[in-house]
Amino acid sequence: MKRNETAKKGLYVGVGVGLVLFVLAGILPGSLLGGVVGLKLVEALYGGPMTVAILPKIILAVSMLLGIMLAAVVYVLGSGFVGWSAGYMIAAAKERAEAGDAAMSKAGH
């Protein structure tokens, strides 16, 4: 059970780091890339630059929000997975070292 607890702690640390990274380096690039995709979509649908109609502006806003959400998913889930993996590996190495110490102490008697 200790291995899962350590892996959860690593997951929480990874998600926390991912949130900080997302706030510092993910919001602006996500909105920029989403905006570019939205502009290309509006250009394909309406055949030119944005018009004064409301629908192209809504399409652009939704695509920017989707870009931000995708950046959040990548940053938070990616770093959470890395943190969980690190916690799991640390706990497994610690259990293996404890098992090795126990085997060495039995062999010494």
Please count the residues of the chain. 109
DSSP secondary structure code for residue 100 in this structure: H
- pTM of this structure: 0.78
Considering its fold, how many domains does the chain have in total? 1
Residue 66 in contact with residue 34, Cβ under 8 Å? yes
What are the structure tokens assigned to 77, written together? 């889930």
Task: Please report whether residue 109 resides in a domain.
Answer: no
Task: Please report whether residue 69 resides in a domain.
Answer: yes
Task: Please report whether residue 52 resides in a domain.
Answer: yes
Task: Please report whether residue 23 resides in a domain.
Answer: yes
Task: Please report whether residue 90 resides in a domain.
Answer: yes
| Residue 68, number of CB atoms within 10 A of its CB | 20
Quote the domain boundaries for residue 35.
2-102
Residue 101 in contact with residue 19, Cβ under 8 Å? no
In tens digits, the chain (109 residues) has pLDDT values of 577 888 999 999 999 999 999 999 999 999 999 999 999 999 998 887 777 889 999 999 999 999 999 999 999 999 999 999 999 999 988 888 888 766 667 765 5
Predicted local confidence at residue 9, as pLDDT:
93
Q: CA-to-CA distance for 101 and 86, rounded, in angstroms?
A: 22
Predicted local confidence at residue 53, as pLDDT:
85
